[in-house]
Structure 1
Amino acid sequence: MRSRPPALSVLDLVPVSAGSGPGEAIRAACSAARTAERYGYRRYWLAEHHNSPALACSATTILMGAVAAATDTIRVGSGGIMLPNHAPLRVAEDLGTLAVMFPGRIDCGLGRAPGTDPRTAARLRRGSADLADFTRDVTELHDYLGPASGAPGETAVIGRGAGVELFVLGSSTGGARTAAELGLPFSFASHFAPDHLHEALAVYRENFNPEAPTAQVDEPWVSAAVNVMAAETTADARCQLLTLRQSFAGVLTGKRGPLVAPGDVAELHPILQSRVNHSLRVTACGTAAEVADQLIDWAGPLGLDEIITVTYAHDPVVRRISLALVGEEWGRRVDRGL
């Protein structure tokens, strides 16, 4: 158990709402980040997905720059960059440049998933996602971003030693092993893949190596993601959550589309509804007080250092209200020790 309360952060997939487009989604992300900053969230992370008309987050580092420019203090990062899709040097150059533009504010969460379909992955010239290759690439990226050694032939990278924080993301024990081996923080995608959460955290903590040359923390550091929807009333929050459930049903059936308003949500077949409920069972929904209670009950036994919140809403105002309600309530709880 941690002696200090976990911080709250945000993961944004920059979803496109029905009736709008990617430009509106990106502007909504910047506005949501300003709200998160105002209400005490620690980080604002942007995902990486490709070939999806429903998500405007294919150019993750560009989005990071836009969000960092729209805010002043909140840390901004990738949640995550899918490293097999990119050369480590290319990622280092992007992140290093962001780090000198926005000192002390840039994070880099790294994952192995393609973030897309196999055909698009091939067009991205995707490399190996084998765990050993991923671990090697994370190490290479770490070396590019570390302080210059002055060794002959060393690659000049803007932002060397600028303090980009690296995190390993995962939805299984694979990412947990890499994070532990390298002594890096670990973040689990329990908002859509909760089945292996406890096992992955145990693997990470049991194998953590603080003596690794790449170590960034002295002891295991873990965060995990949870779907969140807060509103002034429980009934309204539950109604707004229908947008997320409809969206994830599209993921499961391969028919992902823009976010729909709660009133336009279609009834799901019972079998599909059961699958949606299973995948999204790590969800906190209700009034701000109810959501805070649910987050405490969930995160406490896990010993989380940070809670990553994920909020889907057709109306960007609904998302900002949810962020504000939860952030304000969480701040009150933290002030009195939860």
Structure 2
Amino acid sequence: MTRVPLSLLDLVPVSDGSDVRAALAATYAAVTLAEECGYHRYWFAEHHNSPTFASSATSLLIAHALATTSTLRVGSGGVMLPNHAPLTIAEQYGTLVQLHGDRVDLGLGRAPGTDPMTARMLRRGASDAQSFADQIYELQSWFGSGDSPRGVSAIAAGGTEVPIWVLGSTTNGASIAGQLGLPFAVASHFAPAELYEALSVYRNSFSTDSPTARRETPYAMVGVSVLVADTDEEAEYQYSTHVQMSIGNATGDRRPLQPPRVELPHDAGWRAAQDMLACRAVGSPATVRRQLDELVAATEADELIVVTYAHDPQVRLRSLRLLAELWA
């Protein structure tokens, strides 16, 4: 069967017993592998004040990935737009295109990507749906003519036409993406509860009449957590690192990535993690191929974006290589 494009999402996870420098080195080893193996995109997500992730300076991570690759699309998955002045984002991502050509994506979300105290320190602005849509309209103007509706110019951004995506996990985000006529990335890899409803709302609300629209038809990318190993048993064992991380997110006990464990207590935190990780593909190559085929058939996804966590970076690289091979 013809398979949809496969892309990668990275939050620069920090393993227990390691540090940020090592996490960054592991990330750029994955970037190199992604280009070698033919992945379509490599996106970085914005997070702040987390012991688990070192992906706070998203545009800097993207710039380095672009500088070390030549064909891979690289972008944000995403920039939490209310945390930033839209003019700054236009100038940053326009500059990336000027330096590296048309390989840059700008995925935008409304969530803070952090706790309330940190959000206040980021000088977070309005995040309601109308404010978000207005900011996207302003960004599109800067990437087109280089002038905003209010007469301000973003010289580096003019004419770059950076592709904008809307990120979300609910029907609210889906409706915004559809009404704006933009591609939609569903964060189902950690928030799958409204996956199918969100996809339906997005497709049914899709409009080409908005001044922000850049597509004639909807385009949906579905997030999925994946770990591939030689056997189902080994994959489930290594995936326990991801399960522990999700338990920590559910209980507020956030830590660096923990080593895998044979067994985890089936308590309330574990049950919450299972709900968060319902959109997953874990196992041997044959198992993961079947699970991903089923996901694409059920969602009619135009593209999949994969997140993989492993305490040992070599386990992650092995998983990404096996995934590329089984999907080829």
**TM-score range relative to shorter protein:** over 0.9
Equivalent pairs, count: 328
Q: Deviations over 1:20-56 (max 9, x none)?
A: 1111111111110111111111000000011112110
The C-alpha deviation readout for 1:170-221, integer Å capped at 9, x for no partner, is: 0111111111111100010001110111111111111111132111111000
Q: Residues 135-192 of structure 1: CA distance to partner in whole angstroms, max 9, x if unpaired?
A: 1111111111113479994403303222311100001111111111111000100011
Which consecutive residues of structure 2, in runs of 5 or more, have no partner in the other structure?
Answer: none
57-66 or 209-218: which moved more? 209-218
CA 1:274–1:97: 2 relative to 1, 3 Å: same
From 271, 284, 287, give the equivalent of 2:284: 287
State the Cα distance separating 1:271 from its structure 2 match: 1.9
Indicate yes or no: 2:326 matched with 1:325.
no
Map of 2:198 onto structure 1: 200
Q: Between 265-274 and 239-248, report the one with greater CA deviation.
A: 265-274
- With over 3 angstroms needed to count, the CA separation of the structure-2 counterparts of 1:153 and 1:29, relative to structure 1, is same
SS in 2 for 1:228: strand
Indicate how the Cα distance of structure 1 residues 249 and 144 shifts in structure 2: closer, same or farther if over 3 A, else same: same
- CA deviation vs aligned residue, 1:41-72 (integer Å, no higher than 9, x gap): 10000000111121101111011111112222
Answer yes or no: is 1:144 the counterpart of 2:142: yes
Give the corresponding residue for 1:19: 17
2:220 aligns with: 222
Question: How much has 1:301 moved relative to structure 2?
Answer: 2.2
Amino acid paired to 2:25: R
Amino acid at match of 1:157: I
Q: Would you say the 8 A contact 1:29–1:67 is kept in 2?
A: no
Report if aligned partners of 2:91, 2:154 keep a CA contact under 8 Å in 1: no
Aligned counterparts of 1:260 and 1:161: Cα–Cα separation in 2:
45
Question: How far is the alpha carbon of 1:255 from its aligned partner?
Answer: 1.2
Structure 1, 145-154 or 13-22: larger mean CA deviation: 145-154
Change (3 A) 1:10 1:150: closer
Tell me which residue corresponds to 1:314: 311
* Counterpart residue identity of residue 165, structure 1: P
Which residue pairs with 1:270 in the alignment?
Answer: 267
Q: Identity, % of aligned pairs? A: 47
Please tell me whether the aligned partners of residues 246 and 266 of structure 1 are also in contact (alpha carbons under 8 angstroms).
no
Q: Give the letter aligned to residue 33 of structure 1.
A: V
1:320 Cα deviation after fit: 0.8
Aligned to 1:34: 32
2:12 matched to 1:9? no
8 Å contact 1:83–1:111 — kept in the other structure?
yes
- 1:336 is aligned to none
In 2: Cα distance, 1:266 partner to 1:127 partner: 43
Match in the other structure for 2:162: 164
Q: Deviation per CA, 1:257-280, whole angstroms, max 9, x where unpaired?
A: 1011114x7733522211111110
- In structure 1, the gaps of 5 or more residues are 332-338
Does the C-alpha gap of structure 1 residues 93 and 241 become closer, same or farther in structure 2, counting only changes over 3 Å?
same
CA distance in 1, matches of 2:91, 2:224: 31
- Quote the residue 2:211 is aligned against: 213
TM-score, L = length of structure 2:
0.96
Separation (CA, whole Å) in 1 of partners of 2:115 and 2:9: 21
Q: Give the distance between the partners of 1:61 and 1:43, measured in 2 at CA.
A: 15
1:195 is paired with a residue of what secondary structure? coil
Report how far residue 4 of structure 1 moved.
5.5
Rounded to whole Å, the distance in 2 between the matches of 1:122 and 1:154 is 26
Residue in 1 aligned with 2:131? 133
Q: Which amino acid aligns with 2:291?
A: Q
Paired with 2:149 and 2:9, the residues of 1 have a C-alpha distance of: 38
1:302 pairs with one of 282, 285, 299: 299
**Contact 1:194–1:282, Cα closer than 8 Å, also in 2:** yes
* Contact preservation (8 Å) 2:141, 2:148: no
SS at match of 2:8: strand
Structure 1 residue matching 2:194: 3-state secondary structure: helix
Q: Is the 8 A contact 2:90 2:154 kept in 1?
A: no
Paired letter, 2:279? V
In the TM superposition, 1:8-87 aligns within 5 A as 8-87=6-85
User: Which whole-Å deviations, capped at 9, do the CAs of 1:71-96 have from their partners, x for residues lacking one?
Assistant: 22110000000000001100011101
Q: What is the TM-score when the length of structure 1 is the normalising length?
A: 0.93
Counterparts in 2 of 1:325 and 1:151: CA distance versus 1, 3 Å: closer
